[in-house]
Amino acid sequence: MTEETWHQARLIPTSGINGADEQERRATSALLAVMSSVREFGRVLTQPLGAPAGQLETYIEVPFYLGERRLYPDGLLRARRGQKEWTALVEVKTGVNALEAEQLEAYLDIAREKGFDAVVTISNEIPAIAGLHPTKVDKRKLKRVALHHWSWSMVLAEAVLQKEHRGVADPDQAWILGELIRYLEHPRSGALQFDDMGPSWVTTREAVASGTLRAGDKCAPEVAARFDALLRYVSLQLGRKLGDDVTPALSRRELADPALRAQALVQSMSAQGTLQGAISIPNAVGPLVVTADLRAGVVTCHVEIAAPRDGRATTRVNWLLRQLRHAPDSTRIEAFVMHGRGAGTAELLHAVRDQPAVLIEDPKKELRSFRIALASPLGSKRGRGRGSFIDSVENAIDTFYGDIVQDLRAWSAAPPRLRETPEQPDERPSLTSTALSSQDGAGPDAPASQPDDARVLVPTADRRETDPEPAEQLSPSLVPGQPDAPEMSI
């Protein structure tokens, strides 16, 4: 047997997993053990929940009594620092298993009786908005105990960010975190990708295509929530590649009231047949907007960038073209003018490269901004694979960012420059009457500097009419103004 067929020993093996219970138990134990041993990783997960920055203790299957029932939460987290202590119960689901409201409410009751701070759930369910729990529970049970949720995609993304980009101080702990990443990425671990648009997808898609979808249909809100979950999943995957936090871009009103976001998506599907959202990428020129047109079967990504504030219109277009060197010819560019309403001029990139003036409708109007967009075919299948809606949206976002957005830089005005001090010729001190002034050579109409004793030379013809002849060249008796000069008669 050759060495190529040998299997390397792993800290957290995927072999021997039999059934969902074993899968959940192994995933829970592996995750909690690494959280307690790799301090940076445990801290990045628990800090947003309000845990202190002390040593993190982790336990699995801790028994508790609730009345006459004996319950076993999947895990328990405890962090201590000084006099402050934070404790949370953990409930884990893997694969396609969903969280159950009755079970979570029982754990909330236990946490309240024991004085614990929170209940943390982990599953493959991705909420549409960060901070929103995918399972509805009785809100009265959340008065004294917080309920938090981690998706396996988020846990895996944070692990990759910590190991590959933020860093782990101890090399052995970095290796341990790498073993957890390897385990969670394995298909048998139960930490699945986002791979389903939900049971209402086909019905909703067909209703949109036929124009029969209405805002009150029960299937539309589920598809809207799945679309936002997809954007959150794609943001996590892009953040893993970039090494930074990429998040869905939502307004303050939408964050405060998630129902507004769901209503806007349902209304857009029923009226225009489109689903639209945006993701925020650190230091990008603007949010990356994604529009899925279910009727036309096209997904479009676009970003807006402000035009330079100086230069002619053609100069501003050329400034943008220099940044789109690697963009495909099928990229669409739109130009908008100051104080203009409605759509601006639009043309494909290959035409603008040949003739930048095609984007300029009126040279007298100042260009305000550009919109760069790229369209690609939209899949229709519910799950993963070729021709699927999920893969087409994810690929469109990755391609648009890699070919266009990452090369764009916002315009900034050049800083003012100091005036150069002109060099003065060497002169004798007796002839230097003034020091250098800030007004010397200040403008284009300023006269050249002259010495104080310089004479203005006037042509001879002009001098006859303006300047009198020197007195010493005239006869004393003919010099006007002399007291004894006789009167002259003609």
pLDDT per residue over 355-394, tens digit each? Answer: 999 999 888 888 999 999 999 999 999 988 889 999 999 9
In a domain, 451, yes or no: no
Whether residues 164 and 302 fall in one domain: no
User: Angle CA(41)–CA(251)–CA(335) in degrees, nearest 5?
Assistant: 110
In a domain, 333, yes or no: yes
In this structure, are residues 269 and 228 in contact, taking their beta carbons and an 8 Å threshold?
Answer: no
DSSP 240-285: HHHTS--EE---HHHHH-HHHHHHHHHHHHHHTSEEEEEEE-TT-S
Whether residues 253 and 149 fall in one domain: no
In the structure encoding, which two tokens stand for residue 15, read together? 């072999």
Calculate the average pLDDT of the chain.
85
In a domain, 440, yes or no: no
Q: Which domain holds residue 221?
A: 199-407
At 486 the pLDDT is 46
pLDDT of 206 higher than 70: yes
pLDDT of 297 higher than 90: yes
Report how many domains make up the chain. 2
pLDDT of 149 higher than 90: yes
In a domain, 434, yes or no: no
Whether residues 387 and 341 fall in one domain: yes
Whether residues 50 and 15 fall in one domain: yes
At 456 the pLDDT is 43
At 444 the pLDDT is 54
Last residue of a domain, one of 407, 436, 464: 407
Closest CA to 336 of 294, 387, 379, 302: 302
Whether residues 98 and 22 fall in one domain: yes
pLDDT of 476 higher than 50: no
**Residue 211 CB burial class (10 angstroms; 0-12, 13-18, ≥19):** exposed
In the structure encoding, which two tokens stand for residue 30, read together? 């592996």
d(CA 282, CA 244): 7
Return the minimum-mean-pLDDT range out of 28-37, 363-372, 462-471.
462-471
In a domain, 227, yes or no: yes
Last residue of a domain, one of 382, 407, 432: 407
> Region 39-45: what's the mean pLDDT?
95
Whether residues 179 and 124 fall in one domain: yes
Mapped onto helix, strand or coil, the DSSP state of residue 83 is: coil
Closest CA to 200 of 260, 250, 269: 269
Whether residues 142 and 33 fall in one domain: yes
Residue 441 pLDDT class (50, 70, 90 cuts): low
What percentage of the chain reaches a pLDDT higher than 90? 61
Whether residues 347 and 245 fall in one domain: yes
Whether residues 203 and 179 fall in one domain: no
Whether residues 163 and 211 fall in one domain: no
In a domain, 477, yes or no: no
Whether residues 158 and 282 fall in one domain: no
Residue 180 pLDDT class (50, 70, 90 cuts): very high
**Strands (DSSP E) found in 52-106:** 55-60, 64-66, 69-71, 75-81, 84-92
At 136 the pLDDT is 92
Last residue of a domain, one of 407, 431, 460: 407
Cα-only R_g, the chain: 38
What percentage of the chain reaches a pLDDT higher than 70? 85
> Region 117-143: what's the mean pLDDT?
91
In a domain, 50, yes or no: yes
Whether residues 231 and 365 fall in one domain: yes
In a domain, 483, yes or no: no
> Region 279-307: what's the mean pLDDT?
95
